[in-house]
Structure 1
Amino acid sequence: MNKRQLIRSATALACAALAAGLVQAQDFPPKKPVTMVVGFAAGGAADAAARLIAKKLGENVGQTVVVDNKGGAGGNIAHQFTAKGPADGSLLLFGSIGPLTIAPHLMKVGYDPFKDLAPVSGGVNFPNVLVVHKGVGAKTLAEFVALSKKPGAKVEFASTGAGSASHLAGELFNQQAKIDMVHVPYKGGAPALQDLLGERIASYFAAPPTAMPHVEAGKLIPLATTGPKRPAYLPNIPTVAESGYPGFEALNWYAFVAPGKTPAPILDRWNVEIVKVLNDPEVKKALEAHGLTPQPTTRAELTTFMKKEDAKWSAIVKERNIKAN
């Protein structure tokens, strides 16, 4: 092939790529209703956030966005479903920390978060709050750690399941505080909270909306929150980091991803629309009322964040020898 033919070939390929990109961009929004998959049952924090965002998203793009709850296996079922779903822009997943960066290090999940799913935008985040019942006898994190270090002490902490965000928050604290709390997994927040209130377990890294009504009623004592700073709705509860463990951070987070083969122009368009919704003052106010902080990002920022979280939690899984249920 001579030089002129090479130039013609390269030009033709460039034009074809540009045309394909334009066609893909014109396919937005999809001509059929969009499905937003949520890996947890209706009624929880993830579902509430997804429905708020989906409603506004549909209004903005002029297409129906339907929330589809596919609970089970800690959210992994929803992630498996999305990884194998249509890659035409009609399917989004409100993915979460567990299935995206923790579960793959504990079990065979049937998908690769970095190959079978494509990042779109960050969604929301919230810290856990470490709460204890009154019988524990600790009113501060320092007192709780001192109790945990007493000879023969067997202090338990509840979670919503092995590999969940609440479980890994406890294991990270075990590592940094050099204690050995015993992990007790539950099948959800409700049974964990019930046993804590019944004083059958000492502590629980709980979601604030779950725990705070009982704190306000004087039934539970909050020791610390697990985020990098105090959330605006919990100004009087110190963080673990400011209580003697600098750098401690264990946030729950949800992010938007799509099937891995979804064309980049469509992913870019969804990013623009989702970021617009998360920055909408009314949506932000509604999410914050649920104890959720909007976390809009670029696609590249989400990829970097997920890789950082993946490395962090895989190290904890190995060091603490965490196993799946």
Structure 2
Amino acid sequence: MNRSTSRQLGLAAVAALLLAGSATAWADDGAYPNPSRQVRIIVPFTAGGSSDVQARMLADKLGRMWGQPVVVENKPGAGGHLGGKYVADQPADGYTLMVGSIGLHAAYGVYKKLPYDPAKELRVVTVLAEMPHVVVAAPGLPVKNLQELTAMAKKEAGSINFGSAGVGSSVHMMGELYKMQSGAPIVHVPYRGSSAALNDLLGGQIQLMFENPPTVLAHIKGGKLKALAVTSKERLAALPDVPTAPEAGMKDYVATSWTTVAVSSKVPEAVVQKISADVRKVINTPEFRKGLQDQGMSAVANSLPDAQAFVAREKKRWDHVIAQGQITAN
């Protein structure tokens, strides 16, 4: 054996050991390994939003299952992509998870340049939950339903501003879909997360949001916001008196946002399979499903292949909205 061949074999052996080390970095529990130290769940948005609520529910249950602390860290910015890039760059050991969204996986076409490729550098292990959005208005906006909203927006072009969690976020895309289907010239105002936008909606600085249910339920029930419609075919159990968009006269305005659990695509297959299986076990418990339902969400917990196929379909759909609306991030 010559020196070059020997060196190549040596490097291959080192690479194999490194891969094996990352795949077995979790402590054996008799089945496939559990984590042997703290696990982090990154939320690429500010605290208090829907993704944050779900991440904290998940962290609690996974921590109990694994017998290790699971902590949530918020890393907002760039429509979630600061957090997405951070997760993509983490070591391939499975100790960093992320709760992702439409913006991270399906609407990143709004960015002409990103410092990473979400499709290649992040891997969805399951779709966590799915939910319609709620079209909510400030109490001072003189409309009671979608028909009145559209009429006012067309009559007074540019007078109605809607806030979002950032360009390309699900909250933004739901507003753009409404604009595309209704022809209402409402104006988008992006924020650094839903919490900031919601504060301005409550304060009257903006007039409208297309928000996830968990973020606005308490404000609707407390009379601080008006719910005009939900973007689903059926009424939301948490808001039984709020009509669906089809009931409100927009038969095609049906869309849901969704969240995922994702990891860096560098994480070995065996660890990905373990994380996917355990996360789905948690989501499918009656307690967790009830917790989601109380927040206006439905559990999904699909398999790895089904999750990949779902995200691909959704990306195609939102790419169309982005192209039609000529939406770009600065």
Unaligned runs of 5+ in 2: 1-15
Moved more, 135-144 or 286-295: 286-295
Q: Secondary structure at the match of 2:91?
A: coil
Pick from 183, 186, 211 the counterpart of residue 191 of structure 2: 186
CA deviation profile, 1:249-280 (whole Å, cap 9, x unmatched)? 33232101111122222222221111110011
Aligned to 2:273: 268
Shift in CA distance, 308/212, structure 1 to aligned 2, threshold 3 Å? same
Aligned to 1:13: none
Across the aligned residues of Structure 1 and Structure 2, the Cα RMSD in angstroms comes to 2.6
CA deviation profile, 1:292-325 (whole Å, cap 9, x unmatched)? 3322111111111111121111221121111214
Aligned to 1:82: 87
Pick from 275, 294, 300 the counterpart of residue 295 of structure 1: 300
Code of the residue aligned with 1:277 in structure 2: it is V
Within 5 Å, give how 1:119-130 maps onto structure 2. Answer: 119-130=124-135
Instruction: Please say if 1:49 is aligned against 2:54.
Output: yes
Q: Is the 8 A contact 2:43 2:73 kept in 1?
A: yes
Percent identity reads: 37
Q: Is the 8 A contact 1:124 1:294 kept in 2?
A: yes
Q: Is the 8 A contact 2:276 2:304 kept in 1?
A: yes
Q: Is the 8 A contact 1:35 1:66 kept in 2?
A: yes
Aligned to 2:7: none
Shift of 1:96: 1.8
Unaligned runs of 5+ in 1: 1-15
Report the TM-score, using the length of structure 1 for normalisation: 0.83
Instruction: Please say if 1:243 is aligned against 2:248.
Output: yes
Moved more, 32-41 or 146-155: 146-155
Aligned to 2:75: 70
* Counterparts of 1:269 and 1:120, CA distance in 2: 10
Q: Secondary structure at the match of 1:136?
A: coil
Shift in CA distance, 177/121, structure 1 to aligned 2, threshold 3 Å? same
Within 5 Å, give how 1:1-12 maps onto structure 2. Answer: none
Moved more, 145-154 or 30-39: 145-154
Instruction: Please say if 1:156 is aligned against 2:170.
Output: no
Report the TM-score, using the length of structure 2 for normalisation: 0.82
* Counterparts of 1:195 and 1:64, CA distance in 2: 35
* Counterparts of 2:56 and 2:197, CA distance in 1: 26
Q: Is the 8 A contact 1:120 1:256 kept in 2?
A: yes
Q: Secondary structure at the match of 2:306?
A: helix
* Counterparts of 1:314 and 1:197, CA distance in 2: 31
CA deviation profile, 1:132-173 (whole Å, cap 9, x unmatched)? 234432212112222223375643322222222111111101
Shift of 1:104: 4.2
Aligned to 1:201: 206
* Counterparts of 1:306 and 1:46, CA distance in 2: 17
Shift of 1:198: 4.2
Shift of 1:66: 3.0
Shift of 1:56: 1.6
